[in-house]
Amino acid sequence: MSILHKLVLASGSPRRIELLQQAGIEPDRVLPADVDETPLRAEHPRSLVKRLSKEKAEKALASLSTEDDYAPGFVLAADTVVAVGRRILPKAETLDDASNCLGLLSGRSHRVYSGICLITPGGKLRQRLVETRVRFKRLPREEIAAYVASGEWRGKAGGYAVQGLAGSFVVKLVGSYTNVVGLPLYETVALLNGEGFKVHANWMSARP
């Protein structure tokens, strides 16, 4: 693979890796970029995901530039949040986090925002913002308790994983489903292709 076609994913999320693989993209390197994800005062969810995806991409690029064998490639980063209005829900880490998130989402609509940031081999920075609207059914206490007991919520924005048991909570979804999983594939592939990373080049070799 040529230097221009190397791809570094600035995320250790198994979901994002799996989604890229679903589109026939195998990152040459996975380089998680840890940044402070605390929202700024009065920061809108849209602004937050754009800022954090940019910070992650830039941090990964800075880490690469200190390596002796570093060669310019594409650096891809993303950030996803779940929000009710302007209220940004946490990535659930405790039982209380998960229960509180699900209680808030029960019977109402929320939005999932993702920011995608791509830094090209030439140093150009490109961003996309994706928004999906999701409505949950009303969740009885016993159903919330059963889901919390499953553990699927751990580390998930908004306290749920739509690709798992929580898929049964969804009454309506408008927009990108893969965005809710963790990486909007249409926009990501379009961004990569538009900047010269030939996503489709590997599809022929993937034939059974």
Confidence grade of residue 2 (pLDDT, cut at 50, 70, 90): very low
**Residue holding tokens 């140093």?**
123
pLDDT, position 205:
66
Mean per-residue pLDDT of the chain: 93
- Find the mean pLDDT for residues 134-145: 97
Residue type, 163: Q
CB atoms within 10 A of CB 162: 22
Model confidence pLDDT, tens digit, residues 106-132: 999 999 999 999 999 999 999 999 999
pLDDT, position 115:
97
The catalytic residue positions are: 79
CA dist., res. 61 & res. 41, Å (int): 27
CA dist., res. 27 & res. 201, Å (int): 14
Please report the domains of the chain, with CATH numbers, ordered by start residue. 3-206 (3.90.950.10)
Beta bridge partners of 8: 29, 75
Task: Label the pairing between strands 109-119 and 170-174.
Answer: unpaired
Q: Is the pLDDT at 157 greater than 80, yes or no?
A: yes
The contacts found for 11-16 with CB under 8 angstroms, 24 or more apart, are 11/56, 11/77, 11/78, 13/182, 13/183, 15/163, 15/181, 15/182, 15/183, 16/78, 16/182, 16/183
Q: Is the pLDDT at 207 greater than 90, yes or no?
A: no
- Find the mean pLDDT for residues 22-50: 94
- Token output for 7: 């791809």
Give percent above pLDDT 90 in the chain.
86
